[in-house]
């Protein structure tokens, strides 16, 4: 059986959005922190990997956000290693609040050799400790899907902030999701649907799912651009995004997010009001 690690994490005020809900990126930061704690508890903490001359980076994260988590909540977090594939390891997470499932996520972590900057084989001692399937017994990864109806792309300037860097001098994976969310929401405000108007209508956007793949590191100080394709869907939006250098052959990060409209009063999924639906359709065609 996989080695399951549990932790209790209290929601902090700065993790809340304009409607008092935990940001999706804050959930990703929480599970990443718990992953480090789980590895340390098993005997493979940062110092162990430093002596090995290696460190882990996140290659891809998939998450489903089943319900909003609000202020003063206490999160029960579970994590376990699902499998190993030579240089990769898939780790799964659950976040529950008062027993109810709030977040399910999984990340593909890649072990990187510090000296060469290239992936390296995961030590057998690590694989044995976590008792997870490896090689041919591992679970195939879901194929990448960018299928959307034809929509007009929107371009948003972006940049890596110094505060986005972690102790490895890489952009933290959750920081990319923050930037992608900003690029997805900005057109709403520009179309007249800011925080106040949404509040007056009793609804708010909610990220129900995300799939983010980290292909190449972005560098602090370099100009970047986010290309967004936004398509209206029942109860919300489907958004595909690329973050990268303008004119480059491929993105640094690509993502797909599913957005829903949630009632502020009860949190249930609702349809967008007619005026908002027309604004979203206009954004997709503009």
pLDDT in tens, 146-197: 888 788 899 999 999 999 998 888 898 999 999 999 999 998 898 899 999 9
Q: What residue ranges of the chain have pLDDT lower than 50?
A: none
CA 89, CA 52: separation in Å to the nearest integer? 17
Backbone angles phi, psi at 157, to 5 degrees: -65, 145
- Nearest CA to 256 among 270, 271, 243, 273? 243
- Structural contact between residues 75 and 11, judged by C-beta atoms closer than 8 angstroms: yes
Instruction: Provide the CB-side half-sphere exposure for 24 (13 A, CA).
Output: 29
Per-residue pLDDT, 137: 63
pLDDT in tens, 70-80: 999 999 999 99
Backbone angles phi, psi at 21, to 5 degrees: -115, 150
Per-residue pLDDT, 285: 74
CA 44, CA 48: separation in Å to the nearest integer? 5
């Amino acid at each position: 059986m996989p080695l399951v690690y549990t932790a209790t994490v209290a929601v902090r005020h700065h993790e809340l959005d304009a409607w008092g809900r935990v940001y999706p990126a804050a959930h990703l930061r929480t599970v990443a922190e718990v992953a480090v704690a789980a590895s340390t508890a098993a005997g493979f903490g940062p110092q162990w990997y430093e002596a090995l001359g290696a460190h882990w980076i996140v290659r891809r994260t998939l998450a489903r956000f089943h319900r909003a988590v609000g202020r003063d909540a206490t999160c029960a977090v579970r994590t376990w290693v699902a499998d190993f594939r030579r240089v990769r390891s898939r780790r799964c997470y659950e976040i529950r609040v008062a027993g109810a499932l709030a977040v399910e996520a999984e990340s593909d972590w890649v072990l990187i050799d510090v000296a060469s900057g290239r992936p390296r084989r995961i030590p057998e001692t690590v694989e044995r400790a976590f008792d997870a399937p490896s090689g041919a017994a591992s679970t195939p990864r879901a194929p990448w899907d960018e299928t959307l109806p034809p929509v007009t792309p929107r371009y948003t300037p972006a940049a890596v902030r110094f505060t986005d860097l972690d102790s490895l001098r890489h952009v933290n994976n959750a920081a990319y999701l923050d930037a992608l969310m900003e690029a997805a929401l900005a057109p709403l405000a520009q179309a007249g649907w800011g925080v106040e108007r949404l509040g007056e209508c009793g609804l708010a956007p909610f990220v129900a799912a995300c799939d983010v793949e980290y292909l190449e590191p972005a560098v602090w100080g370099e100009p970047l651009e986010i290309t967004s394709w936004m398509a209206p869907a029942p109860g919300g939006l489907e958004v595909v995004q690329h973050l990268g250098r303008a004119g480059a052959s491929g993105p640094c990060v690509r993502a797909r997010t599913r957005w829903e409209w949630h009632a502020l009063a009860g949190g249930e999924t609702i349809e967008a009001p007619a005026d908002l639906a027309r604004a979203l359709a206009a954004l997709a065609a503009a």
